[in-house]
């Protein structure tokens, strides 16, 4: 079995700049495919009126903000989080508009186009920068992932491509879902996006392991943790180009409502 790359490997070897190569539109086929699917799903979900409230917590944000571009139209307080300091710093660089920050403008413009507002992209950047109130250290393997902070339960918890990278096996995945659920209000929504049938992904020259997830397992794990599934969308991979960067078979997009404590 391939090596599991846990938290210590992320801390020592996850290079935010190398990871951000996936988000340069037009330069990385595999990134373009996964990111555009996710952005379309976020746009539809966050404009549907179903996902609303004051606070959204994003778990395992990485160095990226694309996952929050539609969410900031519905939530006025967004809390981003990650396990490793270098990702939090990279995020802060963009939030504070500092020199050397990643250029998200092409992605922001694409989202504005999806939302029917292409010329408003600068306003959207400002809106997101205003909405993200905190970037916190988190660990989804802790029963309180934000320990030592205790956050008030949120209206929405979002997590994109975090569980598959952070969890070693199915039991740790189930436990991490339970930990995420503890951050959410009853009747609040969990939004998950990521990849199925994936064993690895590359960040620069470093190979990171991925828990190979199936739709069947995820449905069972989510429902067993006190959630009711609202949407479970699977889209098979289109382009087999760049399979040396990741071997995922499909993407998933899930909305689940918290019915009870797990």
Ligand X SMILES: C[S@@+](CC[C@H](N)C(=O)[O-])C[C@H]1O[C@@H](n2cnc3c(N)ncnc32)[C@H](O)[C@@H]1O
* Binding residues for ligand X (CB under 6 A): 7, 10, 14, 60-62, 64, 67, 82-84, 87, 138-141, 160-162, 165-166
Q: How far is the CB of 85 from ligand X (least distance, A)?
A: 10
Q: Determine contact, residues 39/110, Cβ cutoff 8 Å.
A: yes
Q: Name the residue nearer to ligand X (CB basis): 120 or 137.
A: 137
Q: Name the residue nearer to ligand X (CB basis): 101 or 120.
A: 101
Q: Name the residue nearer to ligand X (CB basis): 65 or 256.
A: 65
Residue tagged 């950047």 (tokens): 125
Q: How far is the CB of 120 from ligand X (least distance, A)?
A: 23
Q: Determine contact, residues 68/78, Cβ cutoff 8 Å.
A: yes
- 71: Cβ–Cβ under 8 A, 6 or more apart, which residues? 42, 46, 51, 56, 58, 78, 156, 158
Task: Report the alpha-carbon distance of residue 199 to residue 132 in Å, rounded.
Answer: 32
Q: Determine contact, residues 103/27, Cβ cutoff 8 Å.
A: no
Task: Report the alpha-carbon distance of residue 95 to residue 103 in Å, rounded.
Answer: 11
Give the 3-state secondary structure of residue 30.
helix
Q: Name the residue nearer to ligand X (CB basis): 120 or 129.
A: 129
Q: How far is the CB of 197 from ligand X (least distance, A)?
A: 16
Strands 250-258 and 227-236: antiparallel
Q: Name the residue nearer to ligand X (CB basis): 51 or 140.
A: 140
Q: What is the DSSP letter of 155?
A: E
Q: How far is the CB of 225 from ligand X (least distance, A)?
A: 17
Q: Name the residue nearer to ligand X (CB basis): 119 or 146.
A: 146
Q: Name the residue nearer to ligand X (CB basis): 200 or 227.
A: 200
Q: How far is the CB of 14 from ligand X (least distance, A)?
A: 6
Q: How far is the CB of 73 from ligand X (least distance, A)?
A: 19
Strand partners, 201: 208, 246
- 219: Cβ–Cβ under 8 A, 6 or more apart, which residues? 229, 232
Q: How far is the CB of 119 from ligand X (least distance, A)?
A: 27
Task: Report the alpha-carbon distance of residue 34 to residue 72 in Å, rounded.
Answer: 21
Q: Which two tokens stand for residue 82?
A: 């990650």
């Amino acid at each position: 079995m391939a090596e599991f790359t846990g938290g210590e490997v992320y801390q020592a070897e996850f290079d935010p700049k190398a990871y951000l190569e996936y988000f340069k539109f037009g330069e990385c086929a595999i990134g373009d495919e996964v990111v555009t699917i996710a952005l379309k799903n976020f746009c539809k979900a966050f404009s549907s009126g179903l996902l609303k409230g004051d606070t959204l917590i994003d778990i395992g944000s990485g160095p990226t903000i694309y996952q929050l571009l539609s969410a900031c139209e519905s939530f006025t307080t967004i809390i981003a989080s990650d396990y490793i300091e270098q990702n939090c710093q990279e995020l802060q660089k963009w939030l504070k508009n500092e020199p050397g920050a990643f250029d998200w403008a092409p992605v922001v413009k694409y989202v504005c186009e999806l939302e029917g507002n292409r010329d408003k992209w600068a306003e959207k950047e400002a809106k997101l920068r205003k909405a993200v109130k905190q970037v916190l250290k988190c660990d989804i393997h802790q029963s309180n992932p934000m320990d030592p902070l205790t956050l008030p339960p949120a209206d929405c918890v979002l997590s994109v491509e975090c569980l598959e990278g952070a969890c070693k096996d199915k039991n740790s995945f189930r436990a991490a879902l339970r930990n995420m659920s503890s951050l959410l209000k009853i009747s609040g929504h969990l939004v998950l996006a990521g990849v199925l049938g994936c064993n690895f992904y590359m960040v620069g020259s470093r190979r990171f392991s991925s828990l190979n997830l199936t739709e069947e397992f995820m449905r069972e794990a989510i429902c067993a943790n006190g959630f009711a599934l609202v949407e479970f969308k699977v889209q098979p991979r289109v382009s087999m180009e760049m399979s040396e960067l990741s071997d995922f078979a499909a993407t998933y997009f899930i909305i689940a409502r918290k019915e009870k404590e797990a």
